[in-house]
Amino acid sequence: MGCQVKSIAHGDQQREQWRAGVETRMLVSASNGAAQLCIFEQWVEPTVGAPTHWHSVEEVLTVVAGMAEVWIDDQHSVLTSGQSLIVPAHRKHG
């Protein structure tokens, strides 16, 4: 059984404004061939955050530059450049 190999040029993916103060570039998603995951970059203005939400799969948050405050249920974490946080599936976070 064959497997289709697809290369995706990240620079070809456009930035979109998702909400005020948040720009997102979907690097890998269903729109360019992924079936079960997505990888994206976000640029978030200071004091702007994500609303509380959850996913049916785990999520990894990585800070490339600056810092981010993250809540998982009632736990609070501060991430700085070069750190990642694994958010378990079905856990409220923002």
> Is 41 in the same domain as 55?
no
Q: What is the rounded average pLDDT for all residues in the chain?
A: 94
pLDDT for the residue numbered 25: 97
33 and 8 in a common domain: yes
- Statement to judge: residues 7 and 41 lie in one domain: yes
Q: How many domains does the chain contain in total? A: 2
Q: Note the pLDDT of residue 90.
A: 98
Tokens of 5: 């190999």
55 and 93 share a domain?
yes
Residues 2 and 40 in one domain: yes
CA angle 86, 70, 14 (to 5 degrees): 80
Residue 5's pLDDT is what?
Answer: 87
- Say if residue 76 is in the same domain as residue 65: yes
Sorted by sequence, the CB contacts under 8 Å of residue 32 that are 6+ apart come out as 6, 8, 13, 26
pLDDT at position 1 over 70? no
1 and 45 inside one domain: yes
Tell me the per-residue pLDDT of 15-44, one tens digit each, with 9 for 90 and over: 999 999 999 999 999 999 899 999 999 999
